Chain A
């Protein structure tokens, strides 16, 4: 067995089974393109990695947060006398203790601690700090909050009724955002259509269910700065939001990220960071907080439920003539990134298909349901579920093969998006569909060897695409500093890049780019990523963007650093580079015209399912995923991203049933909210990786973090239809729902 000191690079990886298109083993000394082991793997298999909940400091005290646990109410009075009389309790903080009581990822419309009104069950009302966690829990139980319950808006369809209470008085409406696309002439588009398919799709909340619940430790450092050690997705933005709420200059706040136990978008918003900082700042003591699973599920944002009305028309020979979409998004109680998710949903709701006539109306509304925000895919999974369902239904209506129908309409080089902008080239979506179809030997004949009469098998296909980076005119903010130490030879490279690694492997990829750009071995590279006072801002770990942006920023910084190394005698050499991808623009509010995306990445998936018609159970037997990644920077990690994303997409479509009732979450733990186990994922996941270089990406790389999730649900539902003849327009396909659907067919 091997010693675990050192992480020598090696080029082993399991590739795709489709040898013709798979990533080939490389004869190169370059590390980009090789499956080098993760930089964090050794500590993780040894149990040495410190996650936020593992942190401690001498004389630290513990905090518990009182969540509202009611959907809409006025706070009349908070009585903390019994809490303060509890042995071990040191302090109670409420709204009046917060210097600037507001925060939010994009718009600060959320109170740090609610003073007058609570708008959803996860609103924070008070903080209890005690000598130990147990005393904090007892103290929290003894807080008496006198509420006056208010009518709650829990159906987004009712949020804009004239009788609905306005949840944010200053806004005078519950309409958080609306978008439109008006392209061509929708009426004439439907006139030209030989078939029209109309459906309403309902997609549910999804819980991120990262295995590490929110946790952190805050304290004052030797310079008197408030330090928050935690793990989330965007340290520099956390710092900004903490400083804003505490009324401190940014340099008085330090955010330090440890390795995080998963995020998937769910740690993009601030959860426990501000309240931890507040308590440490007020008490001048180290304060620790760990959320229970129940607090995590209630306390952090979710994937937006969408209600999507779709009407698509096509000619007899399968050419799309009209796409009309109406999107309604339940934003929950606060803005979070609902507008930005709606941007994505609006721009991407046609799927990667070209159509001359597009009409989209989309809205995000405030309700008293849990706040919704970022989750892997960021609006794309919901709308692309609808788009791919429409394509599969059109194929059925036209009696045409669904792959063939897609190929007649899919984007290609020169295609124009619904927003009027050309699709960034090269456009690889037809290639990925063909690769998936090849790997599945599409069209697949249904297996005749049914084990039981009640078990029916079927196959389904779907495409997917996702923008890389924020787009819509948003600033990418990706800066990297490289320091070269040594004299004549580079002895050490310090990389200052505030990149969060939530598990996806950003740090490993970062070292690969640095090693290649400077031609230095891995062991000379020292990463400084966690501390906002030491690392440059690179933007969030989200939007399938980090490999793309970091790679380009590293390459820019390396060029500058090498030049300085050659021409200057001063050591160490320090070079800072800010990568600016090509500009994008927001959508025009009236027409939706705009250039929303820097680049896109593409995928196609084919699912094989078995439906038990006696129980309604859907089992996914096999999933083929084909992805155009531009360049597989670390093939093994990349395949892990695709398979992990696919499992989340299949979970969203099957076992993950997030149940809401009157504004309450009925599934606040893993006993009730199920995520896929090893027996719920397909035994066969065949991943085909294509590399059609993106000229904008580092060495041609696109993004990959979100793609695996997107086509999974529509591919699965198409396979269930193939098996049973029934379309299911609402996710997830619980056994109850499937049985009911099967019974509705005569």
Chain B
């Protein structure tokens, strides 16, 4: 039997009926067609399925959809606003922070969270913030640069506004 849950996904609130054993990642991909959240390992290691749940980056293969009841979820599809890239997305584009792109959505979400916690991170802090996300293509250097770029860009924008 299905369970009724209420979720706000990328700003849209709705009620859904889900099987109790359905993982959040399968719910997002198969039921809401948000296929930007990827599955790489099914064991909570690779981070390709990382989304923001109430503002916290979580691996969506590690929780059931029912556990997210009432939550606000942001996936990669919900980051860009009004046709404008989020600073972290822009960083990955500008700094070639991706090759195959499969880890990219999860990596970007983790980047968003780490900048939220620490708006001016050192390289070491960036590296520690991304350690839960595997990339097999890049050797990570361009990814660190992408997040560093996003931090700088965000801080510059904040200074201008402030």
| Complex interface residues of chain B between 114 and 162 (CB less than 8 A to chain A) | 123-124, 127-128, 130-131, 133-145, 153, 157
Residue of B90, B100, B124, B131 contacting most chain A CB atoms (<10 Å): B100
Report Cα–Cα, A639/B35, bound state, in Å.
29
Residues of the B chain whose Cβ atoms lie less than 8 Å from the Cβ of A681: 139-141
> When the two chains form their complex, are residues A45 and B45 in contact, meaning their CB atoms are under 8 A apart?
no
Q: Does A24 contact B (CB under 8 A)?
A: no
Question: Which of B38, B75, B93, B141 touches A45 (beta carbons < 8 Å)?
Answer: B93
Known: A46-B80, A678-B131. A212 touches B40 (CB 8 A): yes
Q: Does B99 contact A (CB under 8 A)?
A: yes
Write the nearest CB–CB distance from A685 to chain B, whole angstroms: 5
Q: Does B113 contact A (CB under 8 A)?
A: no
Known: A264-B136, A685-B141. A45 touches B42 (CB 8 A): no
Report Cα–Cα, A646/B136, bound state, in Å.
11
Question: Which of A14, A46, A503 touches B77 (beta carbons < 8 Å)?
Answer: A46
> When the two chains form their complex, are residues A1 and B99 in contact, meaning their CB atoms are under 8 A apart?
no
Contact string against B for A residues 629-645, beta-carbon threshold 8 Å, 1 for contact and 0 otherwise = 00000001101110111
Residue of A nearest to B92 (CB): A45
Residues of the A chain whose Cβ atoms lie less than 8 Å from the Cβ of B37: 47
Q: How large is the interface on A (under 10, 10 to 19, 20 to 34, 35 or more residues)?
A: 35 or more
Residues of the B chain whose Cβ atoms lie less than 8 Å from the Cβ of A49: 36, 101
Known: A293-B43, A640-B138, A678-B131. A4 touches B84 (CB 8 A): yes
Q: Does A236 contact B (CB under 8 A)?
A: no
Question: Which of A4, A14, A640, A671 touches B137 (beta carbons < 8 Å)?
Answer: A640
Report Cα–Cα, A683/B145, bound state, in Å.
12
Residues of the B chain whose Cβ atoms lie less than 8 Å from the Cβ of A259: 100-101
> When the two chains form their complex, are residues A42 and B43 in contact, meaning their CB atoms are under 8 A apart?
no
Q: Does B9 contact A (CB under 8 A)?
A: no
Residue of B48, B102, B127, B136 contacting most chain A CB atoms (<10 Å): B136
Q: Does A53 contact B (CB under 8 A)?
A: yes
Q: Does A37 contact B (CB under 8 A)?
A: yes
Residue of B nearest to A38 (CB): B96
Q: Does A172 contact B (CB under 8 A)?
A: no
| Complex interface residues of chain B between 69 and 121 (CB less than 8 A to chain A) | 75-77, 79-80, 83-85, 87, 89-90, 92-96, 98-105, 108
Write the nearest CB–CB distance from B16 to chain A, whole angstroms: 18
Residue of A nearest to B130 (CB): A678
Residues of the B chain whose Cβ atoms lie less than 8 Å from the Cβ of A292: 42
Residues of the A chain whose Cβ atoms lie less than 8 Å from the Cβ of B87: 1
Q: Does A445 contact B (CB under 8 A)?
A: no
Report Cα–Cα, A1/B154, bound state, in Å.
10
> When the two chains form their complex, are residues A643 and B90 in contact, meaning their CB atoms are under 8 A apart?
no
Contact string against B for A residues 488-514, beta-carbon threshold 8 Å, 1 for contact and 0 otherwise = 000000000000001111000000000
Residues of the A chain whose Cβ atoms lie less than 8 Å from the Cβ of B131: 677-679
> When the two chains form their complex, are residues B101 and A4 in contact, meaning their CB atoms are under 8 A apart?
no
What's the dominant secondary structure at chain B's contact region? loop
Question: Which of A47, A54, A685 touches B139 (beta carbons < 8 Å)?
Answer: A685
Residues of the B chain whose Cβ atoms lie less than 8 Å from the Cβ of A636: 95-96, 142
> When the two chains form their complex, are residues A211 and B45 in contact, meaning their CB atoms are under 8 A apart?
no
Report Cα–Cα, A142/B130, bound state, in Å.
41
Q: Does A209 contact B (CB under 8 A)?
A: yes
Q: Does A210 contact B (CB under 8 A)?
A: yes
Report Cα–Cα, A42/B36, bound state, in Å.
13
Write the nearest CB–CB distance from A232 to chain B, whole angstroms: 13
Residue of A5, A648, A678 contacting most chain B CB atoms (<10 Å): A678
What is the interface size of chain B, counting residues whose CB is below 8 A from a CB of the partner? 60
Q: Does A451 contact B (CB under 8 A)?
A: no
Q: Does A51 contact B (CB under 8 A)?
A: yes
Q: Does A185 contact B (CB under 8 A)?
A: no
Q: Does A44 contact B (CB under 8 A)?
A: yes
Residue of A50, A259, A679 contacting most chain B CB atoms (<10 Å): A679
| Complex interface residues of chain A between 28 and 60 (CB less than 8 A to chain B) | 35, 37-38, 40-51, 53-54
> When the two chains form their complex, are residues A211 and B100 in contact, meaning their CB atoms are under 8 A apart?
yes
Q: Does A213 contact B (CB under 8 A)?
A: yes
Residues of the B chain whose Cβ atoms lie less than 8 Å from the Cβ of A502: 100
| Complex interface residues of chain B between 25 and 81 (CB less than 8 A to chain A) | 29, 34-43, 45-46, 48, 75-77, 79-80
Write the nearest CB–CB distance from B19 to chain A, whole angstroms: 9
> When the two chains form their complex, are residues A678 and B136 in contact, meaning their CB atoms are under 8 A apart?
no
> When the two chains form their complex, are residues B43 and A262 in contact, meaning their CB atoms are under 8 A apart?
no
Write the nearest CB–CB distance from A464 to chain B, whole angstroms: 16
Contact string against B for A residues 256-267, beta-carbon threshold 8 Å, 1 for contact and 0 otherwise = 000111111000
Question: Which of B35, B45, B123 touches A670 (beta carbons < 8 Å)?
Answer: B45
Residues of the A chain whose Cβ atoms lie less than 8 Å from the Cβ of B42: 292-293, 669
Q: Does A675 contact B (CB under 8 A)?
A: yes
> When the two chains form their complex, are residues A47 and B77 in contact, meaning their CB atoms are under 8 A apart?
yes
Residues of the A chain whose Cβ atoms lie less than 8 Å from the Cβ of B138: 640, 643-644, 647
Residues of the B chain whose Cβ atoms lie less than 8 Å from the Cβ of A708: 139
Residues of the A chain whose Cβ atoms lie less than 8 Å from the Cβ of B40: 211-213, 261, 293, 670
> When the two chains form their complex, are residues B128 and A679 in contact, meaning their CB atoms are under 8 A apart?
yes
> When the two chains form their complex, are residues A262 and B102 in contact, meaning their CB atoms are under 8 A apart?
yes
Contact string against B for A residues 70-89, beta-carbon threshold 8 Å, 1 for contact and 0 otherwise = 00000000000000000000
> When the two chains form their complex, are residues B141 and A643 in contact, meaning their CB atoms are under 8 A apart?
yes
Write the nearest CB–CB distance from A727 to chain B, whole angstroms: 26
Contact string against B for A residues 538-565, beta-carbon threshold 8 Å, 1 for contact and 0 otherwise = 0000000000000000000000000000
Residues of the A chain whose Cβ atoms lie less than 8 Å from the Cβ of B142: 636, 639-640, 643
Residues of the B chain whose Cβ atoms lie less than 8 Å from the Cβ of A290: 39
Residues of the A chain whose Cβ atoms lie less than 8 Å from the Cβ of B130: 678
> When the two chains form their complex, are residues B89 and A46 in contact, meaning their CB atoms are under 8 A apart?
yes
Contact string against B for A residues 199-220, beta-carbon threshold 8 Å, 1 for contact and 0 otherwise = 0000000001111110000000
Report Cα–Cα, A169/B61, bound state, in Å.
45
Write the nearest CB–CB distance from A656 to chain B, whole angstroms: 11
> When the two chains form their complex, are residues B43 and A671 in contact, meaning their CB atoms are under 8 A apart?
yes
Q: Does A3 contact B (CB under 8 A)?
A: yes
Q: Does A171 contact B (CB under 8 A)?
A: no
| Complex interface residues of chain A between 495 and 535 (CB less than 8 A to chain B) | 502-505
Report Cα–Cα, A264/B39, bound state, in Å.
19
Question: Which of A12, A35, A208, A503 touches B99 (beta carbons < 8 Å)?
Answer: A503
Residues of the B chain whose Cβ atoms lie less than 8 Å from the Cβ of A208: 136
> When the two chains form their complex, are residues A640 and B85 in contact, meaning their CB atoms are under 8 A apart?
no
Residues of the B chain whose Cβ atoms lie less than 8 Å from the Cβ of A676: 140
Known: A46-B80, A503-B100. A2 touches B85 (CB 8 A): yes
New contact pairs (11) apart from A14-B95, A643-B140, CB-CB < 8 Å = A1-B87, A45-B76, A47-B77, A259-B101, A502-B100, A504-B99, A644-B99, A647-B139, A677-B134, A681-B139, A683-B123
Binding site for A on B (CB under 8 A): 29, 34-43, 45-46, 48, 75-77, 79-80, 83-85, 87, 89-90, 92-96, 98-105, 108, 123-124, 127-128, 130-131, 133-145, 153, 157
Binding site for B on A (CB under 8 A): 1-5, 12, 14, 35, 37-38, 40-51, 53-54, 208-213, 259-264, 290, 292-293, 502-505, 636-637, 639-641, 643-648, 669-671, 675-679, 681, 683, 685, 708
6 contacts between A and B (CB under 8 A): A35-B96, A42-B93, A51-B35, A640-B138, A644-B137, A670-B43
